[in-house]
Chains A and B, each alone.
Chain A
Amino acid sequence: MAIQGFLVVSLLFSCLAATSYGEVTFSSLQESLIVTASPKLRQVLKAGEDNIIVSWSFNKSLAAGTDSSYKTVKLKLCYAPVSQQDRAWRKTEDHLNKDKTCQHNIVTKPYSSSNNTFTWTVERDVPTATYFIRAYVYNSADHEVAYGQTTDAHKTTNLFDVQAISGRHVSLDIASICFSAFAVVSLFGFFFLEKRKAKVSQAK
């Protein structure tokens, strides 16, 4: 009886421990940062070429001691809802360790309440999609405690687009066409050779 009780308690305890360690939810975070980015509404940025200038600061209208536990800020490029449609690999989940909304890191910086800017060149592996920028704030235990984003709660305003590189090169195109042509020509060569062999053995 005592052992069963002990097992139940330890099970409950480990569940609690799990929730307090890994299972931070987005809805539990406070939106305490104001984040702005340079792209205008629906501006198209080219991956690998164009820059984004991000600025973030603590929202002064909130109580003064709110940011006492804030240690680092991580800025991420996040998918807007229109780019998440029919793409389960970009789905938004409340549990942050399952959430796939923000898959591209911009920068990680130590927290300071004002005068933060960063210029980022859109990386070459960013796919074509519509984005916004979100900043997660971490405490010293490396858990998310707050956030800020360039768009509103419904993720409809201040969105911008990125045009990805295609990955194609002229040399690749030429190589593909040449090898393909070679394969087809070889096929005709095979049939021709085969007919000739047949004629030769017929003549014998």
Chain B
Amino acid sequence: MCPSRLHRQLFLSRRASPILLSTQLVVTIWKFETGQPSKNTVKFNMEGSYGAPESVQKRFALPVDSEHKATEFRLFSVAAPHMRAFHLSWVSFFACFVSTFAAPPLLPIIRDDLDLTATDIGNAGIAAVSGAVFARVVMGTACDLVGPRLASAALILITAPAVYCTAIANSAASFLLVRFFTGFSIATFVSTQFWMSSLFSSKVVGTANGVAGGWGNLGGGATQLIMPLVFSLIQNIGATKFTAWRIAFFIPALFQTLSAYAIFFLGQDLPDGNYSQLHKSGDKHKDSFSQIFRHAVTNYRGWILALTYGYCFGVELTIDNIIAQYFYDRFNVNLHTAGIIAASFGLSNIFSRPGGGILSDIMAKRYGMRGRLWALWILQTLGGIFCILLGRVGSLSVSIAVMIIFSVFVQAACGLTFGIVPFVSRRSLGIISGMTGGGGNVGAVLTQVIFFRGSRYSTETGITLMGVMILCCTLAIMLIYFPQWGGMFCGPSSKGTTEEDYYMGEWDSAEKERGIHMASMKFSENSRSERGKKVESAPTPANGTPNTYV
């Protein structure tokens, strides 16, 4: 269990982990593969050894690997730093979702106070999700520079004023502005995933990412319950309608601010400390941004997944924006009831998004990557079908039932998408993840612009048409083809392409000579599991000459 030699993987993607130097333990990189000694001489700690794994193990409540990443995911523990960071990150992401979607359940009141038209409301809803398109891609860089702890705390604190100022909005324009700036906060998705990947080993990182992402998205549902409740509480205390909704916005704003404080004081970037405290000495290969960027944008699979994520996650964001108003107006339920119904859409995230991730792993065990692709296509298509149905049903109870089934499929599709994303590229994983996440928000913007702005379509027609668009765009998954594993309809390439060929295609020979491709090499070996049980292992090429696969 404890390796006899110190072996460290170089993570050379944008999420490269720095060489760790803590006050207690000094570790360096020993490049056994290339035989080159590290620049620094090996330093001994106070106990006169490299830092035996047992003494390291005692420092952490969870079992850890050689990089001190947790190999187990214990949901009910708050042990520092791993599980504590998990809970901090999902709670803060949840708070950001609550703030971003705090307005929709109160729209029947706000639209009267600010004299909004349907066009104004649609524009504000689009603004709320469009900010994060860009912010999600930028967040990856921020995490690299200052670490996920500071990056997420900073973003949360910068967007908190927008939530406070929602209380003083007095026109359609100011309402749009506050929703726009509040929407930036859901870029904390990227820091959540980054943080989990820094603290959890590859065995459990899928679960950690899926649960953190799903439970954060839960905020979009919980807010539909929380805000009407807070509003009626404040009304009962004595405020008029048009004042009560304004006071109500202080609750998500305070929650957001407190979560930022908690992250800053209780969180830790990496198992051994925070970015700022650690000296970055030794050989830290900072990968070239232009190379990573090039390999990300030229990989067509990243673009397809960005498109399809727009029609599962993007649709989820759109529904968060419109569903409370839909039930309030179409079925004449009161604000409170509309909120409860709308909440049940987002609340199913508690199990459906993690469930999608788990299903992806189960399918991969048996059928490999082809199984993951089929599962994603089937579930997202079913989501589209139930979306079409949702717009067509006219009775309240059937509508609620269809909506809940629709939510399960659409959120599972989100989880399934991020079961495929890690395999699209190893070198450019950070940017591909950011692109996919941003694509989700683009989908939300598109569906709201086309179907839910102004009075061109009634809301129910818009929902049906959105379902048709889901069906059409999900077909793009059929175009995804991995030469080493196959696609939905084709098996692996008859040329016998291997995982090494695919991932090594991202490095040129000069870079390979410097030996900075070794993490991708390791990853290629591990990714053989994506062949599934049926396929025999293909032959490994003798000298790893890459065939560049587009």
Task: Please state if A129 and B157 are interface contacts (CB–CB under 8 Å).
Answer: no
Q: How far is the CB of B87 from chain A (nearest CB, A)?
A: 20
A198: chain B residues at CB < 8 Å are: 276-277
Q: How far is the CB of B260 from chain A (nearest CB, A)?
A: 8
Q: Give Cα A73–Cα B279 distance, bound, in whole angstroms.
A: 81
Q: Give Cα A195–Cα B113 distance, bound, in whole angstroms.
A: 45
- Taking CB atoms and an 8 Å cut-off, the chain B residues in 219-257 that contact chain A are 240-243, 245-247, 250, 253-254, 257
Query: Can you list, as one digit per residue, whether each of B291-313 has a CB less than 8 Å from chain A (1) or not (0)?
Result: 00000000000000000000000
Stretch at the interface among A56-64, A110-118, A176-184: A176-184
Q: Give Cα A201–Cα B23 distance, bound, in whole angstroms.
A: 8
Q: How far is the CB of B90 from chain A (nearest CB, A)?
A: 21
For the complex, is A20 an interface residue (Cβ under 8 Å from B)?
no
Which of A164, A175, A179 has a CB less than 8 Å from the CB of B257?
A179
Query: Can you list, as one digit per residue, whether each of A170-204 has a CB less than 8 Å from chain B (1) or not (0)?
Result: 00110111011111101100110011011001101
Task: Please state if A179 and B253 are interface contacts (CB–CB under 8 Å).
Answer: yes
A195: chain B residues at CB < 8 Å are: 276
Task: Please state if B276 and A197 are interface contacts (CB–CB under 8 Å).
Answer: yes
Task: Please state if B329 and A89 are interface contacts (CB–CB under 8 Å).
Answer: yes
Q: How far is the CB of A177 from chain B (nearest CB, A)?
A: 8
Chain B interface bracket (under 10, 10 to 19, 20 to 34, 35 or more): 35 or more
B160: chain A residues at CB < 8 Å are: 179-180, 183
Q: Give Cα A165–Cα B241 distance, bound, in whole angstroms.
A: 10
The residue on B at minimum CB distance from A128 is B115
Stretch at the interface among B51-59, B162-170, B487-495: B162-170
With contacts A172-B167, A195-B276 taken as known, whether A89 is within 8 angstroms of B111 at the C-beta atoms is: yes
For the complex, is B161 an interface residue (Cβ under 8 Å from A)?
yes
Task: Please state if A187 and B154 are interface contacts (CB–CB under 8 Å).
Answer: yes
Number of A-B residue pairs having CB atoms within 8 Å of each other in the complex: 117
- Taking CB atoms and an 8 Å cut-off, the chain B residues in 246-290 that contact chain A are 246-247, 250, 253-254, 257, 260-261, 264, 274, 276-277, 279
The residue on B at minimum CB distance from A97 is B332
Task: Please state if A180 and B161 are interface contacts (CB–CB under 8 Å).
Answer: yes
B458: chain A residues at CB < 8 Å are: 88
For the complex, is A167 an interface residue (Cβ under 8 Å from B)?
yes
For the complex, is B479 an interface residue (Cβ under 8 Å from A)?
no
B276: chain A residues at CB < 8 Å are: 194-195, 197-198
The residue on B at minimum CB distance from A173 is B168
Which of B118, B242, B246, B254 has a CB less than 8 Å from the CB of A125?
B242
Task: Please state if A167 and B240 are interface contacts (CB–CB under 8 Å).
Answer: yes
The tally of residues in A whose CB lies under 8 Å from a CB in B reads 38
For the complex, is B150 an interface residue (Cβ under 8 Å from A)?
yes
For the complex, is A124 an interface residue (Cβ under 8 Å from B)?
yes
Q: How far is the CB of B184 from chain A (nearest CB, A)?
A: 14
For the complex, is B153 an interface residue (Cβ under 8 Å from A)?
yes
With contacts A164-B112, A179-B164, A183-B160 taken as known, whether A85 is within 8 angstroms of B117 at the C-beta atoms is: yes
Which of B111, B153, B250 has a CB less than 8 Å from the CB of A190?
B153
Task: Please state if A176 and B117 are interface contacts (CB–CB under 8 Å).
Answer: no
B243: chain A residues at CB < 8 Å are: 167-169, 172
Task: Please state if A87 and B277 are interface contacts (CB–CB under 8 Å).
Answer: no
B279: chain A residues at CB < 8 Å are: 202
Interface of B is mostly: helix
For the complex, is A22 an interface residue (Cβ under 8 Å from B)?
no
Task: Please state if A167 and B154 are interface contacts (CB–CB under 8 Å).
Answer: no
Q: How far is the CB of A80 from chain B (nearest CB, A)?
A: 14
Which of A88, A167, A194 has a CB less than 8 Å from the CB of B150?
A194
For the complex, is B496 an interface residue (Cβ under 8 Å from A)?
no
Task: Please state if B242 and A164 are interface contacts (CB–CB under 8 Å).
Answer: yes
Task: Please state if A197 and B264 are interface contacts (CB–CB under 8 Å).
Answer: no
For the complex, is B455 an interface residue (Cβ under 8 Å from A)?
yes
A124: chain B residues at CB < 8 Å are: 240-242
Q: Give Cα A204–Cα B243 distance, bound, in whole angstroms.
A: 54
B422: chain A residues at CB < 8 Å are: none
With contacts A172-B246, A183-B157 taken as known, whether A127 is within 8 angstroms of B112 at the C-beta atoms is: yes
With contacts A88-B458, A184-B161, A202-B279 taken as known, whether A165 is within 8 angstroms of B115 at the C-beta atoms is: no
- Taking CB atoms and an 8 Å cut-off, the chain B residues in 88-127 that contact chain A are 108, 111-113, 115, 117-119
Q: How far is the CB of A46 from chain B (nearest CB, A)?
A: 13
Q: How far is the CB of B391 from chain A (nearest CB, A)?
A: 15
For the complex, is A140 an interface residue (Cβ under 8 Å from B)?
no
A183: chain B residues at CB < 8 Å are: 157-158, 160-161, 164, 257, 260
Q: How far is the CB of B337 from chain A (nearest CB, A)?
A: 16
Could you jot down 7 A-B contacts, CB within 8 Å? A86-B118, A124-B242, A165-B240, A165-B242, A166-B170, A179-B164, A187-B157
Shortest beta-carbon contacts, A-B, top 8: A167-B242, A180-B161, A127-B112, A198-B276, A86-B117, A183-B160, A187-B157, A167-B243
Given contacts A86-B119, A175-B167, A183-B164, 19 further A-B pairs with CB under 8 A are: A87-B111, A88-B118, A125-B112, A127-B115, A164-B113, A166-B242, A167-B113, A167-B242, A167-B243, A176-B167, A176-B168, A179-B164, A179-B257, A180-B160, A183-B157, A184-B157, A186-B257, A190-B157, A201-B23
